Amino acid sequence: MKIEHVTLEPVCYRLRKPILTHHGELRDRRGWRVRLLGPAGLIGLGEALPLPTSGGESPAESLAALEELASALDGRSGTLGELLDRVDETSPDAPSARCALDGALHHLAARAKGVALARLLGATPPVTVAVNALIGVGGTEESVESARAAQARGFRTLKLKLGGIQSDDEEVRLRAVRHAVGDSIRLRIDANGAWSAEEAIAFLTRVAALGIELVEQPVRADDLAGLARVHAEAPIAVAADETLTRPEGREALLDGKLATFAVLKPMLLGGLRSCVRFARAAAARGVHCIVTTTFEGWIGTAQATHLAAATHAGDRACGLASSDVLELDFPPELIPRNGVIHVRDHPGLGCSEPA
C-alpha cells in the first residue's frame, strides 16, 4: 500500500451544550482531519482532537507530531503493519496524532481490501453495539428530564457525570434519576478523578443500593494506590479511564490491581491498533473493556464503533453517542437507535459520509 499524499485540515466541532467535569468546562473539540491519498485514488480519513486535560498532548504538540508524521508517510509504501509501526516510532508521545494516522491507515486499508474496518480489527460484521446516553453535570430536575428523554429514545444504559457539585447534591440527583427511570435501566457514574479514595468509598457505599453498574475514574489518574483501594473496598465496580493514559496505569491494570473495567479511548491511547492489543491483553486477565470516544466527529466515532465491534464482549454499553453531543451532521448509521448502533458489513467505515 502506497501513501501518495497526506493532507491536514483544521476542524472545530462545537458541543450542543457545554459539559462540566472536574477538569473544567468543555465547549468544543478542536484539532485536525487527516486525509491520506492511496492507491487508485482511494482516501483514508482520520481525526486528531487532542485533550490535554485527560492525559493527551497539547494542541501545539499534536500539530507538530502530525506534520512530522505527514512528512514520514508521504510517498511511503508498505504493509498496514509496517506503516503503523512507522507512526508509532515517529510520534510515541502524541496519542491524538497517532490516532489520526492510525485511523486513516486502517480506513484506507479497509477500502483497498473492500472490507469493513471491523473485519480488519478482528470482528465479523454485522455486529450490534449497545450505546449509553450521557447525562451531564447539572441540577436534579434537569438530570431527571434528560434521563427520561434518553429512556424514551430506547437507551438502556445512562452515564451520569459527577464531580462538579457537592457530593450531597450529587447523591440527591443520582437517587432522583434512579427513581425516575426505574430499576430496568443501567446507571453508571463518572467522576473524572474528582474524589479522594476515602470520598469515593464513602459515596459509593451510600449509593450502592441504587444498583449502580460501575463508576469510572473515581480518583485522580495518577493515584494508582487510591484507585486500587477503591477497587478493593467499594461495593460498586470500578472502571479505569484516564489512568490508562499512563504506562504504569496500564501495567497495574493488567496485573489485576486497579479495576474490573477498562475504558478504551483511541484518541488518548494512540489509535485502533494499540487499543486492540490492550483489549486482548486485558481480556486474558478478566478485565472487561468499554470503548468510548472523547466526543469526536463522525470519522473518529465511526472508527471507535468498529473498534467496539471487534473488542467488546457482552452487552455492556459503549460511549459512542457523539451525535448527541456535537453540533455536527452524522451519518444516520452512527446515530443510536433504541440504544444501539449497527455495524454493517460494508467496505470501509460502513456508513454514508457527510461532505
Residue 355 lies in a domain: no
CATH of the domain at 329: 3.20.20.120
Q: Would you say residue 352 lies in a domain?
A: no
Last residue of a domain, one of 79, 114, 149: 114
- Catalytic residue (choose from 17, 113, 161, 257): 161
Say what the pLDDT of residue 268 is.
98
Note whether 158 and 68 are same-domain residues: no
Q: Residues 245, 149: one domain?
A: yes
Q: What's the half-sphere exposure (Cβ side, CA atoms, 13 Å) at 314?
A: 11
The answer to whether residue 348 is domain-embedded is no
Same domain, 109 and 170: no
Domain boundary among 50, 82, 114: 114
pLDDT at 40 over 60: yes
The C-alpha cell at 321 is: 453517542
Is 139 contained in some domain?
yes
Looking at 17, 113, 257, 265, which residue is catalytic? 265
Does residue 262 carry a pLDDT above 70? yes
| Residue 47 and residue 183 in one domain | no
Per-residue pLDDT reduced to its tens digit, 73-110: 999 999 999 999 999 999 999 999 999 999 999 999 99
Nearest to 311, CA basis, from 278, 351, 268: 278
Q: Active-site residue 257, yes or no?
A: no
Tens of pLDDT, residue by residue over 184-225, are 999 999 999 999 999 999 999 999 999 999 999 999 999 999
Q: What is the CATH number of the domain that holds 57?
A: 3.30.390.10
| Predicted local distance difference test score (pLDDT) of residue 166 | 57
Q: Which triple of cell numbers denotes residue 130?
A: 449497545
**What is the Cα–Cα distance from 290 to 4, expressed in whole angstroms?**
35
Are residues 162 and 246 located together in one domain of the fold? yes
Tell me if residue 2 is catalytic: no
Residue 354 lies in a domain: no
pLDDT at residue 24 in the model: 76
Q: How many CA atoms lie within 13 A of 347 on its CB side?
A: 10
**pTM of the full predicted structure?**
0.95
Range of the domain at 70: 5-114
Query: Are both 182 and 58 inside the same structural domain?
Result: no
pLDDT at 271: 98
The answer to whether residue 138 sits within a structural domain is yes
Choose the final residue of a domain: 75, 95, 114. 114
